[in-house]
């Protein structure tokens, strides 16, 4: 049987490549690849599947536990150089393609190693809790180290730009820095006011353009000025930074003391996902209800008149989502002296008042689910914070917080969610109007609607921030939404420096927490996979483990961020009510004790810092 003439076998692809590139140039080569198939009693399949391949050996491929085919020396000697290299390359190409997994193979590996995914998911939660325990102790040096590192980066960047601005062409950066340092030292010792960064270079400067050198020098001054302001800000805010660190430490303590609070966002997301799926089914039905009279039923003479141009709206496309245009040759209007052949086709979906009402309902319910979760977590933090130190572990914080949120504050949470839903709905409505204006070629109205949509987006962020703090006030004080929003606003206004420092440190703490949880989960998953399934390619499963770690980190860090905000409000409440400090967690205990002895609220934080 000759492989070179069996067309049914050419589906292999690799053999086709060999035939096209080699046998086309040397037609007589096909005779060397005519082999006899095994007898049907030995190989009960078609001939093409029963052909032995003489002259092929196998060698181990590195440490991959895989074999690669190789043409032996006898066959290679009978072939010309080009044909032999092509055939040997063909064998290696086969193993290369086998090594690159298809999507089906990847899914197979994932299904095969599902036990590892379960183990990694559980360990990821454990890693999250251990990370919070670790952060409780390393948070202080971590935050101070980050702040000092930022200061050093500004200083180093400023000095580097200033040295670069006066670097000579025949000097390296290190030589230029050393020379300018020596020049500055000598000038200082001699009492000379010469600027070491204004030296003359006989052979020219590394930066040839004088304006560019001046720009680099002034940018260096600006970075040094920023470094000075950064250091001044740290010195001025040192007390509040220490308080912010203590608040974050207490939030860590709350989470690893009450890990059941993590069920709140999990259940919340589960319910929200079910609601989204139900709403999407209903919304798809509403979107598909396209009225028959939404597009004109008359015909038009030209395509431009029906579809429109860059500056003129079309009769069929003057709304969003737009319809389309088609040619109806069979229409009676398409004949005669002035044929009217172009007609309008309806869009496949349409946004009308029914969908707008449905979308508003979706937003309101979604924000209500979020509000219940935030109020539940804030209530749990408040219960845990104000419980006596020896009794904290006995309290059912999460269940009580959920009962208070659902049975006592549903109206307040629904009202706050309604306000946010209205703002977000108006934002998307402005976006829809901008699209409508774009279809009608009204660029002024399009720009105005886009600006209004952006303004509403900014207002949305403010409402979300105020709502979150209002929900915390509802959980802690039991007041209605309006009073809680008012109290939260003035609370933030009175303590804007504390809230600002908390917000600034949140980025540092959240980033480090995300990295630790995600990286630890990925590494553990890789090691467990290698121990349980050493034959599975670890690349794609490890990527999946990284995603699991990222999701777990988002769960922990999101809950942790809300716990920080609630803890800060608990601390301020204890401070303003002079409730004592018997209940206070360790990191904040001394702050509250010292603040109780101070009559001036503005100096409380700094007084407390003197004992830390």
Closest by Cα among 366, 385, 324, 375 to 588:
385
- Whose tokens are 């020098």? That residue is 217
| pLDDT single digits (tens) 478-532 | 899 999 999 999 988 888 888 888 888 888 888 888 999 999 999 999 999 888 8
- The sign of the CA dihedral 472, 473, 477, 478 is negative
Distances (CA, A) of 11 to 1, 15, 88, 164: 17, 8, 20, 63
In contact, 578 and 153? CB cutoff 8 Å: no
φ/ψ (deg, to 5) at 344: -100, 140
Closest by Cα among 457, 483, 484 to 468:
484
In contact, 518 and 549? CB cutoff 8 Å: yes
Q: What is the pLDDT of residue 140?
A: 86
Q: What is the pLDDT of residue 28?
A: 66
CA distance 329 to 341: 6
The token pair at 237 is: 């805010």
| pLDDT single digits (tens) 428-466 | 999 999 999 988 888 899 999 999 999 999 999 999 999
Q: Do you know the residue count of the chain?
A: 612
Q: For the residues 27-54, what does the mean pLDDT come to? A: 67
**Greater confidence, 505 or 467?**
467
Beta strand pairing status for 324-327 and 67-71?
A: unpaired
The token pair at 444 is: 């002024």
In contact, 341 and 349? CB cutoff 8 Å: no
**Greater confidence, 479 or 97?**
479
| pLDDT single digits (tens) 301-329 | 888 888 888 888 888 888 888 888 888 88
Beta strand pairing status for 324-327 and 56-60?
A: unpaired
Whole-number percent of the chain with pLDDT over 90: 27
* Neighbour count for residue 289 (Cβ, 10 Å): 11
φ/ψ (deg, to 5) at 294: -75, -25
Q: What is the pLDDT of residue 4?
A: 42
CA distance 504 to 492: 15
CA distance 468 to 377: 11
CA distance 394 to 190: 73
In contact, 177 and 220? CB cutoff 8 Å: no
Put residue 311 in one of left, alpha, beta given phi > 0 → left and psi -120 to 50 → alpha. Answer: alpha
Put residue 377 in one of left, alpha, beta given phi > 0 → left and psi -120 to 50 → alpha. Answer: alpha
Distances (CA, A) of 380 to 257, 261, 491, 566: 11, 8, 20, 9
Q: For the residues 587-610, what does the mean pLDDT come to? A: 55
DSSP 180-220: HHHHHHHHHHTT----TTS---TT-BSS--HHHHHHHHHHH
Q: What is the pLDDT of residue 304?
A: 87
CA distance 383 to 391: 11
In contact, 126 and 232? CB cutoff 8 Å: no
**Greater confidence, 45 or 572?**
572
φ/ψ (deg, to 5) at 367: -70, -30
| pLDDT single digits (tens) 538-566 | 888 888 899 999 998 988 888 999 999 99
The token pair at 454 is: 């952006």
Q: What is the pLDDT of residue 572?
A: 86
Where do the structural domains in the chain lie, given as residue ranges? 3-100, 130-240, 245-259+496-609, 292-345, 351-493
| pLDDT category of residue 8 using cuts at 50, 70 and 90 | very low
In contact, 362 and 385? CB cutoff 8 Å: no
Q: What is the pLDDT of residue 100?
A: 47
| pLDDT single digits (tens) 388-411 | 877 777 778 889 999 999 999 999
Is residue 352 helix, strand or coil?
coil
CA distance 114 to 112: 6
Q: For the residues 125-148, what does the mean pLDDT come to? A: 87
Q: How many CA atoms lie within 13 A of 342 on its CB side?
A: 17
Q: What is the pLDDT of residue 581?
A: 62
Q: What is the pLDDT of residue 225?
A: 94
Average pLDDT taken over every residue of the chain: 80
- Whose tokens are 């037609």? That residue is 27
In contact, 559 and 578? CB cutoff 8 Å: no
pLDDT of 65 higher than 70 = no
pLDDT of 608 higher than 60 = no
CA distance 361 to 1: 71
Q: For the residues 254-269, what does the mean pLDDT come to? A: 88
Beta bridge partners of 58: 69
- The sign of the CA dihedral 499, 500, 505, 507 is positive
| pLDDT category of residue 31 using cuts at 50, 70 and 90 | low
pLDDT of 80 higher than 90 = no
Longest dimension (CA), the chain: 105
Closest by Cα among 465, 427, 430 to 448:
430
| pLDDT category of residue 78 using cuts at 50, 70 and 90 | low
CA distance 331 to 333: 5
Element at 84 (helix H, strand E): helix 81-99
pLDDT of 382 higher than 80 = yes
Is residue 56 helix, strand or coil?
strand
Cα dihedral 20/25/28/29 (nearest 10) = -60
Element at 68 (helix H, strand E): strand 67-71
CA distance 239 to 218: 33
pLDDT of 108 higher than 80 = no
Is residue 228 helix, strand or coil?
helix
In contact, 66 and 59? CB cutoff 8 Å: no
In contact, 1 and 31? CB cutoff 8 Å: no
Q: What is the pLDDT of residue 21?
A: 63
- Can you give the pTM of this predicted structure? 0.71
In contact, 508 and 145? CB cutoff 8 Å: no
Is residue 456 helix, strand or coil?
helix
| pLDDT single digits (tens) 205-252 | 787 788 888 888 889 999 999 999 999 988 988 888 888 888 988 898
| pLDDT category of residue 604 using cuts at 50, 70 and 90 | very low
The token pair at 343 is: 């007609």
Q: What is the pLDDT of residue 601?
A: 47
Distances (CA, A) of 41 to 20, 44, 276, 341: 34, 6, 61, 71
């Amino acid at each position: 049987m000759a492989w070179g003439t069996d067309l049914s076998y050419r589906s292999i692809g690799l053999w086709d490549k060999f035939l096209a590139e080699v046998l086309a140039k040397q037609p007589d080569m096909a005779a060397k690849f005519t082999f006899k198939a095994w007898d049907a009693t030995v190989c009960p399949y078609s001939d093409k599947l029963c052909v032995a391949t003489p002259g092929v050996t196998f060698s181990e491929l590195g440490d991959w536990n895989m074999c690669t085919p190789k043409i032996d020396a006898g066959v290679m000697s009978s072939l010309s150089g080009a044909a032999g290299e092509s055939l040997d390359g063909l064998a290696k190409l086969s193993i290369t393609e086998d090594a690159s997994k298809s999507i089906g193979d990847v899914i197979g590996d994932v299904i095969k190693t599902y036990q590892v995914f379960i183990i990694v998911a559980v360990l990821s939660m454990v890693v999250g809790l251990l990370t919070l325990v670790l952060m409780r102790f390393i948070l202080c040096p971590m935050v101070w180290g980050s702040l000092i590192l930022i200061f050093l980066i500004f200083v180093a960047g400023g000095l580097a730009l200033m040295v670069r601005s006066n670097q000579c062409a025949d000097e390296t950066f290190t030589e230029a820095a050393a020379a300018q340092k020596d020049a500055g030292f000598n000038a200082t010792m001699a009492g000379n006011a010469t600027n070491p960064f204004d030296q003359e270079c006989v052979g020219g400067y590394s930066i040839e353009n004088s304006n560019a050198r001046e720009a680099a020098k002034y940018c260096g001054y600006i970075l040094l000025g920023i470094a000075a302001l950064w250091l001044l800000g740290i010195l001025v805010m040192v007390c509040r930074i220490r308080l912010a660190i203590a608040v974050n430490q207490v939030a860590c303590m709350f989470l690893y003391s009450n890990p059941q609070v993590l069920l709140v966002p999990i259940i919340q997301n589960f319910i929200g996902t079910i609601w989204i799926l139900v709403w999407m089914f209903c919304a798809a039905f509403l979107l598909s209800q396209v009225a028959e009279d939404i597009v004109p039923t008359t015909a038009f003479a030209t395509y431009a008149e029906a579809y429109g141009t860059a500056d003129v709206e079309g009769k069929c496309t003057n709304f969003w989502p737009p319809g389309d245009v088609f040619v109806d040759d069979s229409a009676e209007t398409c004949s005669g002296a002035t044929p009217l052949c172009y007609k309008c086709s309806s869009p496949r979906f349409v946004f009308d008042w029914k969908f707008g009402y449905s979308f508003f309902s979706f937003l309101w319910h979604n924000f209500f689910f979020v509000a219940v979760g935030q109020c539940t977590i804030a209530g749990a933090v408040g219960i845990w914070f104000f419980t006596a130190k020896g009794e904290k572990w006995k309290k059912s914080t999460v269940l009580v917080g959920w009962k208070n949120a659902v049975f006592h504050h549903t109206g307040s949470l629904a009202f706050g969610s309604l306000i946010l839903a209205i703002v977000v709905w108006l934002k998307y409505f402005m976006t829809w109007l901008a699209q409508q204006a774009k279809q009608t070629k009204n660029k002024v109205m399009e720009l105005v609607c886009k600006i209004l949509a952006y303004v509403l987006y900014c207002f949305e962020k403010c409402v979300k921030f105020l709502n979150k703090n209002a929900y915390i006030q509802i959980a802690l004080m039991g007041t209605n939404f309006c009073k809680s929003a008012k109290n939260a606003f003035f609370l933030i206004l009175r303590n804007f420096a504390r809230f600002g420092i908390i917000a600034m440190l949140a980025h540092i703490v959240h980033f480090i927490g995300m990295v630790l949880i995600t990286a630890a989960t990925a590494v553990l998953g890789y090691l467990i996979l290698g121990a349980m399934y050493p034959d599975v390619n670890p690349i794609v499963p490890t990527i999946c483990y990284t995603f699991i770690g990222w999701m777990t980190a988002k769960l922990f860090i999101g809950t942790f961020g809300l716990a920080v905000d609630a803890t800060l409000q608990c601390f301020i409440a204890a401070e303003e009510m002079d409730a004592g400090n018997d209940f206070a967690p360790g990191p904040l205990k001394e702050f509250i004790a010292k603040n109780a002895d101070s009559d001036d609220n503005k100096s409380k934080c700094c007084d407390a810092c003197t004992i830390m």
